[in-house]
Amino acid sequence: MFARSRIRCMGCSREYGDREILYTCPSCGSLLEVIIDPPKVTLEAFQGRPLGVWKYAEFLPLEDGMELVSLDEGGTPLYPCDRLAKWTGVRKLFIKYEGANPTGSFKDRGMTLGVTKAKSLGSKAVACASTGNTSASLSAYAARAGLTCYVILPSGKVAMGKLAQALMHGAKVISVKGNFDEALKLVMELSTKMGIYLLNSINPWRLEGQKTLAFELVDQLGHVPELVAVPMGNCGNISAIWKGFGEFADAGLIPRKPRMYGIQAEGAAPVINMLRKGLESLEKVVNPETVATAIRIGNPVNWPKAVRAIRESGGLYDSVTDNEIIEAQRLIAYAEGIGVEPASAASVAGVRKAVSEGVIPKDSEVVCVCTGHLLKDPEEVISVCGRPVEIPPDLRAVSEMLMRTP
C-alpha cells in the first residue's frame, strides 16, 4: 500500500535508487528529493483511518513489510482563532498546532519516516545537528527504535526543554562552541565519514513525513486553504508542505494549491534578504541572532526548495522582529489559550504584518503553522513575563496582593 519511490537531484535531474544513502547529488552537489508516482486513490480511501502521518500511506515512500517506528505523530489540532483573526485583520485564521506532536514539534512527522528508513537500511546509529527540536525528536524516535543517537548542538543557544528531552531520551549530546550552521557542517562530515545515518532535513526521506501536514489541512478544512504561513529556519518544512500539496494535486485529489508564506526572524533572514534583493543565490548571515532560537540559522541548506515553494505558489515572504514575535506569542497564549514557542509565533506575526501592509487581503482565510510547544523554551517565557512575586503565606498578604494585581 506504500508508494514506489526514487530519489532525484533538483539540479541535474539525475535519479538514484531508494536504498542509496545520499544527502546531496554525487554528480552535481545539489539537493535531492524523493519522487513518488502519484497513487490512484480517491479521498474516500482515507475515510475511517485515524488522522496522522500514516493515514496517507499511499503517498509515503516505504516498502510493504517495513517495521514502522512510530509514536502516533501528526493528527494535530487545527484551531479556528477568531480573536487572532481580528488582531491580524483577516476574515478567518486557523492555527495548525504542531506542539501537540509526541515530542512537542512538527519534527516528529519527519522522524517517524526517517528513523523507519534508517532501520530498514540497517543503520545502527543516527545523528543530527540541531537548534533543539530536531534533536529532541530524533533522540525519542531513536530510543523507540533501539538505535544510538548522536546530537550536535550550538552551545548555549538551545532552549532548556529541548535539551532536557535529548538528554533524557539517551542521546549522546555534544555542544560545540559555534552556531547551528557550523554544527550542521560538522555532523554532515562526520556522518559520511563514520557511516552514521544523518537525519537533518537535508535528508529527503524526512521531508516525506513532514509533507503530511498539507494532507491533514485538506482533510480538516474540507478544502484547500488560501494561504499557509510557515516559519522558516533550515527551510525543510515549508518545502515539505508545498510538496504535499503538489502530490495531492497531481493525484487529482485537490483542484488547486495554496499560496505559501515563508517567514524568518529579522536577525536570521538570509532567504528573505535574497528574495528582496532579487538574487538567485543565498548570501549567508554569518552571525544570526533572534529570540526564536529554533530558527536562528544563517545558512539554511534547503533554501533552494523553499524559494521554489514560495515562487511556484505565487507566495509571500517577509521577516519579523523579535518584538513582533514575542507580541504574537503572548497573544496566541492569552487570547486563544494556545501555547507556542517563539519561532512558531513568527507565522502569526508575519500575517499581521502582511495584512497591515496590504499584502494579504482582509477577506483572506489563513492557516498559521505553529511549529512547537510553549514548554520548549521556559527561559524565554520567564524573561518575557517575569517571575511571580513572592510573599509570606498569610491571608492578608495574599488578599492585598490580589487587589493590587491588575
Task: By CB under 6 A, name the binding residues for ligand F0G.
Answer: 105, 130-134, 201, 231-237, 294-295, 341, 343-344, 371-372
Residue 246's CB is within 10 A of a number of other CB atoms, namely: 18
To 5 degrees, how large is the angle CA 246–CA 103–CA 105? Answer: 40
Least distance in Å: CB of 146 to ligand F0G?
A: 23
- Tell me if residue 298 falls in helix, strand or coil: coil
Q: Please state, in angstroms and rounded to a whole number, the distance separating the CA atoms of residues 390 and 260.
A: 46
Which one, 39 or 237, has the nearer CB to ligand F0G?
237
Which one, 159 or 253, has the nearer CB to ligand F0G?
159
Least distance in Å: CB of 124 to ligand F0G?
A: 23
Which one, 118 or 295, has the nearer CB to ligand F0G?
295
Least distance in Å: CB of 132 to ligand F0G?
A: 5
Q: Please state, in angstroms and rounded to a whole number, the distance separating the CA atoms of residues 357 and 363.
A: 14
Which one, 251 or 332, has the nearer CB to ligand F0G?
332
Task: Name the burial class of residue 286, with classes exposed (0-12), middle (13-18) and buried (19+) by CB atoms within 10 angstroms of its CB.
Answer: exposed
Which one, 117 or 251, has the nearer CB to ligand F0G?
117
Least distance in Å: CB of 260 to ligand F0G?
A: 12
Least distance in Å: CB of 210 to ligand F0G?
A: 8
Which one, 134 or 165, has the nearer CB to ligand F0G?
134
Least distance in Å: CB of 131 to ligand F0G?
A: 4
Which one, 61 or 372, has the nearer CB to ligand F0G?
372
Pair 23, 32: CB distance under 8 Å? yes
Least distance in Å: CB of 130 to ligand F0G?
A: 3
The secondary element (H helix, E strand) that includes residue 14 is none
Residue 23's CB is within 10 A of a number of other CB atoms, namely: 17
Q: Please state, in angstroms and rounded to a whole number, the distance separating the CA atoms of residues 360 and 363.
A: 9
Residue 240's CB is within 10 A of a number of other CB atoms, namely: 28
Look-up of cell digits 545515518: 197
Q: Report CA-CA distances (Å) from 78 to 19, 349, 369, 371.
A: 35, 18, 9, 12
